[in-house]
Chain A
Amino acid sequence: MFKGIYNWVDERLDITPIWRDVADHEVPEHVNPAHHFSAFVYCFGGLTFFITVIQILSGMFLTMYYVPDIINAYGSVEYLQTKVAFGQIVRGMHHWGASLVIVMMFLHTLRVFFTGSYKAPREMNWVVGMLIFFVMIGLGLTGYLLPWDNKAYFATRVTLQIADSIPVVGPYLKELMQGGQIVGAETLTRFFAVHVFFLPAVLLLLLVGHFIMIRRQGISGPL
């Protein structure tokens, strides 16, 4: 039945080459943990992506209940976590995933560093990787404010204070991020917009670039 549908579409649109190009390629022996167990370090990039997908999915579902408003934000998070079925699980995925994605990204970066894979011709992918790193940090910092509890509020005060300490532009940057003179209603809506729309959009573009470059250049050779 599925084969029938697939063939029907394939006859008309010739989709086989598209997925072949994405998925059908050899995994070299030196990156295959089935050959050398130590090759598991090559999985960290894929694991980072896996958790990123979890973050995006769980985040999309969280926005079904979450409201970015200083009166109601905390209540909405409390409600979705305690009253909604599986709320604890979905929020838990997003909450713990946010830390795990940083850990995985860090391990992936270490692998790339110690295998020397950042060297020519892959320098540009190292740079894109660093940009992904900053976007991830941004997602973590903006997401952290959203529950609007004491920890969120004071952590954001400190984050903005760090931005404020940058010479010359610091105070303007802080006020721009804060959306005004204090951490308040306009900060929360701003952080929400950046967390949920702006940074994920940038992240997806960067990931596309990262993956296209990997396909073009292949995985780096054995040590």
Chain B
Amino acid sequence: MSNQNDHHEASQKPPGRKEMSRRQFLTYTLGGATAYMVSGAVLPMIRFAVDPILHKGSKGNFIKVVEVSKITNEPQEFSFELQQQDGWYSSTATLSAWIRKNDKGEIVALSPVCKHLGCTIGWNNDKGYPDEYHCPCHGARYTKDGKNLAVAPKPLDEYTVKVDNGWIYLGQIVPNKHVS
């Protein structure tokens, strides 16, 4: 059956030139004009809505936090203030870091934000697990260097550290480079 059809079609030459029908022409022009007008209305709104993600994030300046002489092997929490612009509000945010000197003598400043879902961790705050960072939300635990032991998928982030004239300056938060 299909063979017969094929044969029939092959024998009949298609017309040499495809005429556009009036109906098709009107569909294209009206459709195109409509699409143009709709996008004229919609594009500004979309650009308006995504504006915040197209702003360049402020590149972190280094902020003076604490004297090097205060840092021990035991992690200590230090807080510092950051000037931040939030839309039409400018405010000072208080950030904190757990800072210690590791066995190689490097200064490591860990971010207190849990890598599970972002609660705030503390040092040595769970009696069952001494000398570890612990997150109260779902029980994530980390070593002194921030290596993830339970729950959290990644080690604690760290601040970039700069030492100048006996003072520690902290910059951007980056993935932990001191644990493997």
Contacts and interface: CB of A to CB of B under 8 A. Distances in A.
B119 A186 contact: no
A56 interface: no
B10 interface: no
A70 B90 CA distance: 12
Interface in A129-172: 154, 157-158, 161-162, 172
A133 B86 CA distance: 32
A182 interface: yes
B117 A185 contact: no
B88 interface: yes
A206 to B, nearest CB: 21
Given A186-B86, A186-B87, A180 B52 contact: yes
A78 interface: no
Contacts, number: 42
Contact of A182 (B49, B55, B84, B118): B84
Interface residues of A, number: 19
B166 interface: no
A92 interface: no
For the residues of A in contact with B, the DSSP-based class is: helix
Interface of B: 49-50, 52-53, 55, 57-58, 84, 86-89, 93, 117-119, 137
B117 A162 contact: yes
Interface in A88-127: none
Given A157-B118, A180-B52, 9 more contacts: A175-B53, A179-B87, A180-B55, A181-B58, A184-B86, A184-B87, A185-B87, A186-B86, A189-B87
Contact of A180 (B86, B93, B117): B86
A179 B49 CA distance: 8
A162 B117 CA distance: 7
Nearest to B93: A182
9 contacts: A70-B86, A71-B89, A154-B119, A176-B49, A178-B52, A179-B52, A185-B86, A185-B88, A186-B52
